[in-house]
Amino acid sequence: MQFDFTRNYFELFDLEQRYAIDSDKLAACYQQLQSEYHPDRFVNADDQDRRLAIQVTTFINEAHDTLRDEQSRARYLLQLQGIPFDSDQDTTQDMEFLVAQMELREQIDEVDQHQEPLDRLDELASEARKQKNDLVQTYQQQYAAEDWEQAKETVLKMQFFARLQQQINTKQEILEDQLL
């Protein structure tokens, strides 16, 4: 089996290295690579090829997940430019942003007090989506302008929305379970 692990994720899927991507092409290329390297294709191969097939498809899945998601794609593009991320220490210092985040979180915690908590949650989710889309726009401009420091700041902010979305989903599921 031949596979080049040194290619970056964009090269792997034959995509241009930029923020806006052709998601149909990504999906098609992903399936094509899986068709070629999936462990199911190597059930009768020797041990080494079988192990390799797992490693290759793990790599392909990781690449696909990274490029498919707006936030992780943004972060990955900066990493390719040599911008380091340290999850223990990096965080945004923008107080105004942090206060707005805290308010959103409190509002999510308080949806139970609403008459129609699920509807209220939908409203908050849509508000969060709008704010995140603004960040995506901002990032796109900063990346195009090669303003790496500011772009990194934007990525760190996007991460808050990933966590926020998780909080919304969990809340939604708890509320749904209560309805049963």
Partner 1 sequence: MALLQISEPGMSTAPHEHRLAVGIDLGTTNSLVASVRSGVAEVLVDESGTALLPSVVHYSSDRDPQVGAQALEHTAADPLNTIASIKRVMGRSRQEIDSASEYVPFQFEQDNANVPRVKTAAGPRTAVEISAEILAALKARAEQSLGGDLVGAVITVPAYFDDSQRQATKDAATLAGVNVFRLLNEPTAAAIAYGLDQGAEGVIAVFDLGGGTFDISILRLRKGVFEVLATGGDSALGGDDFDQAIAQWWLQQSGLQAASDHQLMRSVLTAARQAKEALTAADQTTMQVALPDGDSVKQVLSREQFDGLIKGLVKKTTVACRRALRDAGIEKSDVTEVVMVGGSTRVPLVRKDVETFFGRSAHTGIDPDQVVAIGAAIQADILAGNKSGDEMLLLDVIPLSLGIETMGGLMEKIIDRNSTIPLARAQEFTTYKDGQSAMRIHVLQGERELVSDCRSLATFDLTGLPPLVAGAAKIRVTFQVDADGLLNVGAQEVNTGVAASIEVKPSYGLTDKEIETMLQDSMAHAKDDMEARSLREQQVEADRVVEAINAALEKDGRQLLNAAELAQITTSRDQLIDVRNQAGDPDQIKSAIKQLETISEEYVARRMNASVRSMMQGHKVEEFQP
Question: What phi and psi values does residue 146 have, to the nearest 5 degrees?
Answer: 55, 35
**Closer Cβ to partner 1, 88 or 96, answer by number:** 88
Cα–chain center distance at 72 = 4
Find the shortest distance in angstroms from Cβ 72 to partner 1: 12
Cα–chain center distance at 10 = 15
Find the shortest distance in angstroms from Cβ 172 to partner 1: 8
Stretch that binds partner 1, among 61-69, 77-85, 97-105, 144-152 (CB under 8 A): 61-69
Amino acid at residue number 132: K
**Closer Cβ to partner 1, 27 or 144, answer by number:** 27
DSSP-assigned letter for residue 83: -
Find the shortest distance in angstroms from Cβ 161 to partner 1: 15
**Closer Cβ to partner 1, 93 or 126, answer by number:** 126
Encoded one letter per residue, x for contact with partner 1 by CB under 8 A and - for no contact, window 80-99 reads --------------------
Question: What phi and psi values does residue 97 have, to the nearest 5 degrees?
Answer: -65, -45
Looking at residues 26 to 55 of the shown chain, list those that interact with partner 1 (rule: CB under 8 A): 31, 34-35, 38-41, 43-44, 54
Helical segments of the chain, H only: 9-12, 23-37, 47-68, 70-80, 95-109, 117-144, 148-179
98 contact partners, CB below 8 Å, separation of at least 6: 92
**Closer Cβ to partner 1, 119 or 176, answer by number:** 176
Closest to 75 measured CA to CA, from 129, 138, 153, 130: 153
**Residues near partner 1 (CB under 8 A):** 31, 34-35, 38-41, 43-44, 54, 57-58, 61-62, 64-65, 169-170, 173, 176-177, 179-180
